[in-house]
Amino acid sequence: MLKIKKNPEDFKVEEITPNGEVMETEKKYKFKENSKGNQLICTLVKNNWEQNRAIKEISNRLHFSRKRIGYAGTKDKRALTSQRISIYGCKPEDVKELKIKDIDVKPIEYSDERITLGDLWGNKFTIKVETDKEIKPKKKIPNYYGHQRFGKIRPITHLVGEAAIKEKPEEAVKIYLTKSFEEESEDAKKARKWLEKNWDKNRGKDEERREVFKEALNKYPKYLGYERTLLHHLVEYPRDYINSMRKLPKNLEIMFSHAYQSYLFNQYLDEVKDRIEKGEIEQEEGPVYGYETDLKNEYERKILKENGLELKDFKVNCLPELSEEGKRRKLFIDLNDLEILDKGENYYEISFSLSKGSYATVVIEELFEDKLD
């Protein structure tokens, strides 16, 4: 047994800024009255809110585009999280009037600099872990991408990304809309299976294709908002799969290619981890594949070949915004600040910090040598 997130408060994530400041969930920040700029920097503390929906709700309450809000990284949904956001052209008094359940936005200062993705050092985690196993502290942890990268209930993000990178936009949209999993609600599964069954119906006639997507809209429950957004576009333009994907939030669309890169990186780490630990290979970083990746060894080439890929495939012609240059990523995490805060009969409360891009769930599975339920 290895479980986390019984309650959102049992999984606390506090952003660490580039200069090392921890954005604590309980800290009260006094607004810097003498600060200047067109960006209002705030703390966003949220409890059990998916980030895109939290940002959308804030922008709706402030009556302006969500594009005015910048943030450094996406935090977990089922968690208590704290992070910085920037809001263009906003006043402190506007933010102070926000009343949203389980969301707290507090102004800190004005700035000329928008907060952008990657503008953080990492995150501090404080986690209650339910387990019947003893913790086994380790200094080095394999730096896998966690399941959040691919989706937990519907692990399809990398599959959509693979189809897009291989220039198959219709397949990408079909996977996103129709692939169902047992953990989903019955009405969601039923709707997806209906559309999958009827996907190829009358595909030569636009008007009849529209009817398929109209009927799907009637079947897809309201809470599948992103799927319904795609379907609305397809009702109007029944063959325009490329622009239907562009109706999704930009960060979600880009996550498709990132997830596929992550999937390939995890394959590579599986391939070389034991060889590195045995001293057969000396390598600190592995490939997050892209069109400019400098391949270092036969194993990096092997992963590409096994997946039917060439580096040039990561320059995506049909969806250029999904193109990826590639980078290198550490193969192992140095875990230097692990602290056991509490221990009970069937639980631990622990804290540690990770640099951006590394996953607490991966660390937990390694520390307890078990898989999370």
Buried b (16+ CB within 10 A) or exposed e, 125-153: bbbbbbbeeebeeeeebbbbbbebbbbee
- φ, ψ at 151 (rounded to 5°): 100, 135
DSSP 103-171: EEEEEEEEESS---TT-S-EEEEEEEEEESS-----SEEE-PPPGGGT-SSS--HHHHHHHHHTT-HHH
Single out the residue of 261, 251, 272, 263 nearest to residue 313, CA to CA: 261
CB 160 within 8 A of CB 44: no
- What is the C-alpha to C-alpha distance for residues 260 and 288, in angstroms, rounded to an integer? 9
Pairing type for strands 339-343 and 285-288 reads: unpaired
List the catalytic residue out of 10, 76, 119, 313. 76
CA distance 185 to 204: 32
- Establish whether 334 is a catalytic residue: no
As a whole number of angstroms, the distance between CA 208 and CA 214 comes to: 10
The distance of Cα 175 from the centroid of its chain, to the nearest Å, equals 18
Q: Which of 23, 133, 8 is nearest to 71 (CA)?
A: 23
Catalytic center residues:
76
